[in-house]
Amino acid sequence: MAVNMKGKDLIEIQHLSLEEIYQIFDLSNSLKLKQLSGEPHRLLSGKTLGMIFAKPSTRTRVSFEVGIYQLGGIGMYFGPNDLQLRRGETIADTARVLSRYLDGIMIRTFSHQDVIDLAKYASIPVINGLTDLHHPCQVLADLFTILEKKKRLSGLKLSYVGDGNNMAHSLLQGCTKVGMDISIATPKGYEPLKEVVNEALENAKYSGTKVLITNDPSEAVKDADIVYTDVWASMGQEAEAEERKKKFMPYQVNSDLVKYAKDDYLFMHCLPAHRGEEVTDEVADSSNSVIFDEAENRLHVQKAIMALVI
């Protein structure tokens, strides 16, 4: 049964029901087939998406801008210096003004609270393109990719190795929502936030899944269906990069570590990859790697999200 998502914000995966997640996947698949066959699908003809970027981007900007265009709408890019936000205008006022002009807003920024505030005061849907706390569009694209490759989600195990960052947080929410076990291995002091882990544990009670937070990468990767990693220093953490490199080197996803996973494991990375740091070329370019499939699926999944909420 279809769920009406019109006007809904996408701030984090925790706010989506299982039915809404699978509705996004169903429409993603349909739109992907239409795109590949050259069939027009102008579901948002005449609509305008405002795209606010406080952080630079490759995949997020291109996939949203191309996506709204393919849906028949227009994307407007706002860089860090294009709006009055940094000159004293409140997020509340910006949200109210943009709501009079636009049909939807996508924002990629540092503070998660900015997205919450924008959604609170906007009368149009707000989509979180990334914050320091969550990356929901990426993880929905990741889960859709796993579903394509493995033909199921429930009962699979995803192992994430690296920093307990926004990717770890959204994967915790997403995997436990759809019935996947998740294990996360980080160096001591870099674990995901306790409140997000607790949310995942609550989800796991309903979905019957397991959640493991450990400092041992081999324990995390044991019998994994999917091995996932991300950069060790995210945007805004450049000053810590050298220190992090020393602490995270034992967490590199390489040919020795993936031996603990199942033979047909999928390797995933949200990109950009710092090859030779969090992952070796041998793994990133292996037949198990689906990193460019998941990058492509950002386009199809975000088109589905926009079509459903705008």
Catalytic residues: 108, 135, 138, 230, 270, 298
Establish how many alpha carbons lie within 13 A of residue 302's alpha carbon, considering only the half-sphere containing its beta carbon. Answer: 34
* Nearest residue to 185 via CA among 158, 157, 159: 159
**Residue 74 CB coordination number (10 Å):** 16
CB contact at 8 A, 177 and 20 = no
What is the strand order of the sheet 157-161 is part of? 211-214, 181-185, 157-161, 226-229, 266-269
Q: Tell me the C-alpha distance between 128 and 172, whole Å.
A: 17
Q: Residue 200 phi/psi, 5° resolution?
A: -65, -40
CB contact at 8 A, 26 and 34 = no
- Residues 136, 19, 153: CA angle, nearest 5 degrees: 70
- Checking phi first, is residue 77 left (phi over 0); if not, alpha (psi -120 to 50) or beta? beta
Q: Tell me the C-alpha distance between 87 and 190, whole Å.
A: 34
CB contact at 8 A, 161 and 225 = no
